[in-house]
Amino acid sequence: MRNMKQGFTLIELLIAIVLAAGGLMVLMQLMSVAIFADSDLEYSLTALNLANEKLEEVKDSDYSSVVSATESPISGFSWIDDRVVTVSEVSSDLKDVQVEVRWTQKGGQQSVNVRTYIADY
């Protein structure tokens, strides 16, 4: 009976505090995962816009000047590694154009790709 009224020991309290802190840390971790997932999306969307920008430029140029090229850096977007245009001739009047925008995030390289065919008409 006397033992039941003893209350918590110091060790029990410390264990409880450490466990509670550990639990909070896990929650924080989840929060930061959510935040990073969202910033990934922000980068991808802007990279996609920049890839489309290049594609529109290519569509607006003469057929003969549609050639492979690499741009780096992209002004105003220092986080982008480079923007690569790869052109391969499908036939004498048809070109396969791919634009790839690459950036580095969390140690790995990410990229988005857009692709179109351009005809000499």
Partner 1 sequence: MQARDKTRFTNRGFTLIEMIIVLVLLPMLLGVSGSLFVVGLHAWDTGRTRTGIREDVSYAMDEVVRDLKEMANGSLAQYSSISHTIQFDERGGDTYVLYLHNADDSSFDSSYTESLYDLRKADITQGEDPASGEGTLILRDLVSPDATTPATALTISSTQVTLDIVVQRSDEIVRTRTKVRPRNL
Q: Which residues bind partner 1 (CB under 8 A)?
A: 2-3, 6, 10, 13-14, 17-18, 21, 24-25, 28, 31-32, 34-35, 38-39, 41-42, 45-46, 49-50, 52-53, 56-57, 59-60, 76-77
Helix (H, G, I), strand (E, B) or coil at 43: helix
CB of 90 to partner 1, least distance (A): 21
The distance of closest approach from Cβ of residue 34 to partner 1 in the complex, given in angstroms and rounded to an integer, is 7
Closer CB to partner 1, 17 or 91, in the complex: 17
Smallest separation, CB 55 to partner 1 (Å): 9
Give ∠ CA 89-95-101 in degrees, rounded to 5. Answer: 105
Query: In one letter, which amino acid is 42?
Result: E
52 vs 86, beta carbon nearer partner 1: 52
* Contact between residue 59 and residue 103 where contact means Cβ atoms under 8 Å apart: no
Q: Cα(118)–Cα(121) distance, rounded to whole angstroms? A: 9
The nearer residue to partner 1, 9 or 91, going by C-beta atoms, is 9
The smaller minimum CB distance to partner 1, of residues 60 and 92, is found at: 60
Radius of gyration of the chain (CA): 27
The neighbour count for residue 118, using CB atoms within 10 Å, is 18
